[in-house]
Structure 1
Amino acid sequence: MPTKHNSIALVAFIFAILSAIYIKQSIAPHWVEQSYVYDVSTNATGISSYIYKGQKVIIDTVEDYQNSPLNQQNLSNLNSSPVLEQQWVKDKNQQLKLLKPAFHFGIWSLLPAFITIVLCLLTREPLTALLGGVVVGSIMLGRYDLTDKVIIPNLAKEGTAALLLLYLWLLGGLLGIWSKTGAAQAFANYMTKHFVKGRKSAKLVSWLLGILFFQGGTMSTVLVGTTVRPLADKAKVSHEEMSYIVDSTASPIASILAFNAWPAYVQALIFIPGVSFLATEADRISFFFQSIPFSFYSMFAITGTLLLSLNITTFSGKRIRAAKLRAETHHQLDAPDAKPLSAKELQSTDVPEGYKPHVLEFILPLVTLTAIAIGSFVMLGSPKINWAFGAALILSAVIALIKGMSLNQVVDGFGNGLKGVVFASVILMLAVIIGSISKETGGGLFLVSLLGEQLPFWCLPVILQLITMIIAFSTGTSWGTYAIAFPLAMPLAWAICQSQGVANPELFMMLCFATVLNGSVFGDQCSPISDTTILSAMTTGCDLMDHVKSQLAPAALAATLAGILWTLTAYFFV
């Protein structure tokens, strides 16, 4: 069967390559106007500026919208690429906005993400699947030099470099030193003795930690997964169950307990001229929090993991039930054919003779890590994750040295940690690149463009949910989906409010906002090319595709129930 699947995968990849060549040669890109509105201030001398990433940016020249080569009318008549990458314009209402051109290839825009997911499902080999998607997308964009034109430019981006630093050097090094000192095993023994009395309590502790680390995204998955792995393994909890609990409490809880970076990021994407309750930054952040009661998917996702933690598997799907039964009856934490992302170097301890591990060697670095992450968020407005993991790594090494471990042994543990995560780090890098390529080919733009303003208003929330689920699943990023979907979805929702005379427009806008927010979370959480999905599997020691397939059923059930509730709310209460 694997050989047959590999043959099908090879045929699919060749077809995708030929399709990419055809797209590059024969399909003209469809250019789309994208406008961004910032909180622009004008001083006494008439100079306008705005704040971007904490820096003041001066607006030099402003063109009339009708004369801009980047307005939709001019873009529609293009036979080649636009002459400008961006331009500030003033519309008929004297509103300043930044125009940027973007393009899509119609349904072909989805090809890189589609072939990546197909190859993942057929081969169960994420590395080659991601690389295949990158190759196909690069050909579509005419970037045939894969190293110099695709991989290196993406690695040079600040965000990608920070991810690799964090998850290769810092996370890998920390896990390696904990393995060398036996700290993780000592913590597991301590928790087992005092709190964890079996599989149920191990899963409950994991669920509670997922709730406590409500910063969301990669931070939550790494913190929770790293912490609970040793105690869950000791309690013989299957890796599919653990990766689902870790992944399905990370972003969902961050969208509900939103005392994190999410509101500040999202508010900048939902400004609509003339809408009073979205007029200022404070209004938009308030709107975010008022919309939280409609985050139905996140609520169902968190409830689903709680039920699993209580050993109620009715809603968990047959794969998770089978994994639970396998772990209980045979003590097998992985399926027989699984290929866990976490390497063997991190699955056992290699404590030097005479060294006595202590639980504080795990707890003190973890408390330091958490305190710095949360403290930096409170003080600076964004959590400094690299500082947090760096401090935890140094503290772990210092404690080991003070307790008598030699420097060579500490460095050996650090090296083993790097070996343990290098494969997952390469996958993470390729996931970031395929997400960037999918955005450039315009997959998200094409999906949103399928929507029209002739829809019955009560259909819009669930359609936005479906569209954002597909975008996030295809690109592997919820925040990237927000950047694509919110600037298009919110004005569309407001236009439908106005054209169809919706009685309670603010409630309707909250519903549409919540569907974009939650649909993106679902797609990101379930995507095999998402960094949080990969990290949830990596930190809990699960096979990536086993994690993706097993959590898809309970997540889809939660999304279905949420979609029904959004539709009913829009139909009966708006």
Structure 2
Amino acid sequence: MTASSNEPNQHDSLREHNDREPVPAIEEAATGTAVQPDIGTDMARQFRPARRLAAAVVIGGIVASLYVFAQVEPRWQEQKRTYNVYENEAGQLSYMFKGEETAIEGVVPYAESPLRQEALKDVDGRPPFESQWVVDSVQEEGVETKRYSLLETRFHFGLWSLLPAVVAIGLCLLTKEPLTALLIAVVVGAFMVGRFDITDAVLLPSLASKSAATILLLYLWLLGGLMGIWSRTGAAKAFAEFMTDHFVKGPRSAKLVAWLMGVIFFQGGTVSVVLVGTIVKPVADKEKVSHEELAYIVDSTASPIAAVLAFNAWPIYVQALIFVPGVSFLATESDRIAFFFRSVPFSFYSILAVIGTFLLSLGYTRFSGAGIRAASERARITGQLDGPGVTPMGAEELQVAKIPPGYKPHVLEFFVPLLLLIGTAVGTFVVTGTPRVNWAFGLALLLSVLVALAKGMRLGDVIEGIGDGLKGVVLASVILMLAVTVGSISQEVGAGTYLVDLLGDHIPYIALPVALQLITMIIAFSTGTSWGTFAIAFPLAMPLAWNVGLASGVAHPELFMSVCFATVLNGSVFGDQCSPISDTTILSAMTTGCDLTDHVKTQLVPACYAAGVAAVMWTATVACFA
């Protein structure tokens, strides 16, 4: 491989480092024998306080969860989501959701509903049902109109609602064992709501859910099998060599390719993370790009770029959550989609996150944090892609190509299935509005298997390759399923409901954008989902922003609403991106082979920089222009 003039050769750097900094040794003792430092003993002493603190968190979390179950009464909250309801041709009341017409029945006056907040204050036990359509009359420009809303009930335990998320995140950072941390968090959350049979009442229903089935199908069988086949046929290695010979000439250009792939796959979320991580890892590993840097680039060009280049499913989903009665620019579905795109220039966090990863790819690490700078330096000098004593999410089975004797790899074995994968995902999105990712990975895996067999590989070698791939991602898949369970339990015990309830109606308009940003950051960080946070926050935040803006007499209410909209959108993206229980965070670590805790810790610093600057920009925009 030939390195470019502006990127130092790693072997030369390593040789210079070894000449300049010999391995330290303790001076010879009186016996004349050189004594080496006991690294294992030093590490045990270093981590002993963390272990004690982790044990205290486990015991304290379980005791606290039992206390909540026995002593803390849940506080029931009305969740009111107003829709633009109309009569269809058949005379039925209907509303549009994700482009489809949905009929509603059983509408009652709001004042008679047992789910309104006044009635919930006196409820003994659970409300009679979970949701109900209601109608009330409002005055709009002197004309009385009917407003239709869906009332739903949510409860929270006050500050205790954050307990499962705090336990999960705290133990992840203390022990670097996400599997144990998530399992303990599941136990804590289950005890809070009285589910003491963890296997039958919590884990089995979670494993039987559609989310768990999707994880098993896509991220374990299909993705794992495809990565295993590419490793066995040498396709991934051939792709890395091809990219190195023609495009990539060092770690800087490898990171630029990763950033560009993230921008190209702007669908966002798990689709982008899995595609980009799988594509760029062979090239980045060959060029000695640290796994912390690569995971950050992959993760920070997933949801952030989807919020900026929003030609995806996001506007259709979000528009159904932001209808505010009486607001003309949010009246129809097309109005709300147009409002989404007009608000994109105010997505300051997402824009800064994408710019930050671009600067990192160019070698500017001033805003990347000490962790990423240290990881970059470690990879450049020593060639080590992971830090000492960590557990990378990518298993050993996927790190080394086990090509059978006589089999000749070809780069087309990577390119052709990849093009089929991308074409299927994009094509199904254009035709149906939803990318069929399972179809895409399934067809790519099938084609890779058929090509390998056609080129003479034995069926036994193919099966072994798929098996190695499954073993390589099984741990990450289990962690991902437990993370989904923790996120659903955090939502069930009311983490998001409690945080939104804290905001209240009496807040200065200039402080509202940052308040919404902080609340949604914490909700998404605690639950590990941005779209779930949208569903919690948008129906409450948008009417609140409109009322606060009118009460404060802002000169440009639509601009003020756009800023508040952007803070909810971007706060949710930040929390989802940085949470150790988020699917995109876990998949970024898995597809790039990074240790999950290292990915979270190193990514938090540049993400917080971007969030802080974005908060200042939102406040300045409201102060100067709204």
| TM tier relative to shorter chain | over 0.9
- Aligned equivalent of 1:428: 480
User: Distance between the aligned counterparts of 1:496 and 1:132, measured in 2?
Assistant: 41
Query: 2:169 & 2:74 partners in 1: Cα distance?
Result: 24
Could you say which residue in structure 1 is the equivalent of 2:431? Answer: 379
Q: Does 1:498 align with 2:543?
A: no
> Any residues of structure 2 matched to 1:280-319 within 5 Å, and which?
280-319=332-371
Q: Deviations over 1:123-180 (max 9, x none)?
A: 0100000111110000011111112211122222223311321101110010010011
Would you say 1:106 and 2:158 are equivalent positions? yes
Tell me, in whole angstroms, the C-alpha distance in 2 between the residues paired with 1:288 and 1:438.
Answer: 28
Within 5 Å, which residues of 2 pair with 1:123-202? 123-202=175-254
The aligned counterpart of 1:348 is 400
Per the TM alignment, residue 38 of structure 1 is displaced from its structure 2 partner at its CA by 3.4
Q: Spell out the pairing of 1:202-213 with structure 2 (5 A cutoff).
A: 202-213=254-265
Q: Could you tell me which residue of structure 2 aligns to residue 254 of structure 1? A: 306
Q: Deviations over 1:56-85 (max 9, x none)?
A: 544331111111110110011112100112
C-alpha deviation, 1:47, in angstroms: 2.7
- Aligned position for 1:15: 60
> Residues 145 and 57 of structure 1: is their aligned pair in 2 closer, same or farther, counting only changes over 3 Å?
farther
Task: Determine if the alignment matches structure 1 residue 279 to structure 2 residue 346.
Answer: no
Matched-pair identity in %: 62
1:45 is displaced (CA, Å) by 5.4
Aligned 8 A contact 2:98 2:317 in 1: no
Does 2:136 match 1:91? Answer: yes
The Cα of 1:4 is off from its aligned counterpart by: 2.4
Task: Tell me the amino acid that sits aligned with residue 369 of structure 1.
Answer: L
CA shift for structure 1 position 2: 2.1
Aligned-pair distance for 1:234?
0.4
- Tell me whether 1:396 sits opposite 2:441 in the alignment: no
In 2, Cα distance between the equivalents of 1:154 and 1:336? 35
Question: What is the aligned partner in structure 2 of residue 540 from structure 1?
Answer: 592
1:17-36 → structure 2 map (5 Å cutoff): 17-36=62-81
Question: Per-residue CA shift, 1:17-57, capped at 9, x if unaligned?
Answer: 11111111111111011122334342455432345567654
Letter in 2 for 1:226: T
* Range 30-39 or range 110-119, more displaced: 30-39
- Residues 44 and 224 from structure 1, CA distance in 2 versus in 1: closer, same or farther, beyond 3 angstroms? closer
State whether structure 2 residue 572 is matched by structure 1 residue 572. Answer: no
Aligned residue for 1:89, secondary structure, equals strand
Give the secondary-structure state (helix, strand or coil) at the position aligned to 2:610.
Answer: helix
Cα contact 2:495–2:523 (8 A) shared by 1: yes
Residue of structure 2 in register with 1:419 after alignment = 471
**Structure 1 residue 452, shift from structure 2 partner:** 2.3
Please tell me whether residue 241 in structure 1 is matched to residue 286 in structure 2: no
Change (3 A) 1:319 1:43: closer
SS at match of 2:150: strand
Partners of 1:18 and 1:110 in 2: CA distance: 15
In structure 2, distance between residues paired with 1:436 and 1:81:
19
Aligned letter for 1:141?
A: V
The corresponding residue for 2:118 is 73
Letter paired with 1:7: R
Amino acid at match of 2:85: V
Question: How many angstroms apart in 2 are the aligned matches of 1:536 and 1:99?
Answer: 37
SS at match of 2:83: coil
**1:544-555 paired onto structure 2 within 5 Å:** 544-555=596-607
Separation in structure 1 between the aligned mates of residue 608 and residue 225 of structure 2, nearest angstrom: 36
State the one-letter code of the partner of 2:152. Answer: K
Deviations 1:97-116 (A, max 9, x none): 21111001111100000111
Q: What is the one-letter code of the residue matched to 1:85?
A: E
Is residue 2:107 matched to residue 1:62? yes
Q: Which residue of 2 aligns with 1:225?
A: 277
TM-score by length of 2: 0.90
Runs of at least 5 residues in structure 1 that lack an aligned partner in the other structure = none
Q: Which residue in 1 is equivalent to 2:51?
A: 6
Q: Which of 372, 376, 385 is 1:333 aligned to?
A: 385
Between the aligned partners of 1:173 and 1:45, the Cα distance in structure 2 is: 50
- Cα offsets for 1:243-298 (capped at 9, x unmatched): 01101111110000001111111111111111111111101100000000001111
- Does the 8 Å contact 2:353/2:610 carry over to 1? yes
Report the residue type matching 2:137 in the other structure: K
1:37 aligns to what SS in structure 2? strand
Alignment counterpart, residue 359 of structure 1, candidates 411, 415, 430: 411
Contact 2:238–2:410 (8 Å) recurs in 1:
yes
* 61, 65, 87: which one aligns with 1:42: 87
Instruction: Give 1:465 deviation, angstroms.
Output: 0.7
Name which of 554, 558, 562 aligns with 2:610. 558
For residues 293 and 51 of structure 1, the distance between their equivalents in structure 2, rounded to whole angstroms, comes to 27
In the other structure, the counterpart of 2:516 is: 464
How much does 1:6 deviate?
A: 1.6
Distance in 2 between residues matched to 1:316 and 1:141, nearest whole Å? 41
Residue 497 of structure 1: how far off its partner (Å): 1.1
What is the alpha-carbon distance in structure 2 between the residues aligned to residue 438 and residue 489 of structure 1? 20
Partner residue in 2 for 1:215: 267
Q: Over residues 354-396 of structure 1, what are the superposed CA-to-partner deviations in whole Å (9 max), with x where a residue is unaligned?
A: 0000001011111111111111111111111111111111111
Q: Does 1:320 align with 2:372?
A: yes
- Indicate how the Cα distance of structure 1 residues 105 and 491 shifts in structure 2: closer, same or farther if over 3 A, else same: same
Residues 452-471 of structure 1 deviation map (CA, whole Å, 9 limit, x = unaligned): 22221111111111111111
Give the aligned CA root-mean-square deviation in angstroms: 1.2
Change beyond 3 A, Cα 1:411–1:508: same
Q: Which residue of 1 aligns with 2:31?
A: none
**What is the aligned partner in structure 2 of residue 451 from structure 1?**
503
Give the Cα–Cα distance (whole angstroms) in 2 for the partners of residues 512 and 236 of structure 1: 42
Structure number, greater radius of gyration: 2
Q: In structure 2, how many angstroms separate the alpha carbons of the residues matched to 1:457 and 1:266?
A: 23
Matched to 1:38, the amino acid is Y
SS at match of 2:511: helix
- Return closer, same or farther for 1:177/1:45 CA change in 2, 3 Å cut-off: closer
- TM-score, normalised relative to structure 1: 0.98
Measured against aligned partners, the alpha-carbon deviations of 1:402-430 in whole angstroms (never above 9, x if no partner) come to: 11111121111111111110000000000
**Larger mean Cα displacement after TM superposition, 34-43 or 124-133:** 34-43
Cα distance in 2 for partners of 1:42, 1:160 equals 38
Note the alpha carbon deviations across 1:338-366, whole angstroms, 9 max, x for none: 11011111111111000000001011111
CA distance in 1, matches of 2:550, 2:199: 49
User: What is residue 581 of structure 2 aligned with on the other side?
Assistant: 529
Query: Which whole-Å CA distance do the structure 1 matches of 2:372 and 2:48 have between them?
Result: 26
8 Å Cα contact 2:505/2:544 also seen in 1: yes
CA distance in 1, matches of 2:100, 2:66: 41
Distance 1:255 1:44 in 2: 36
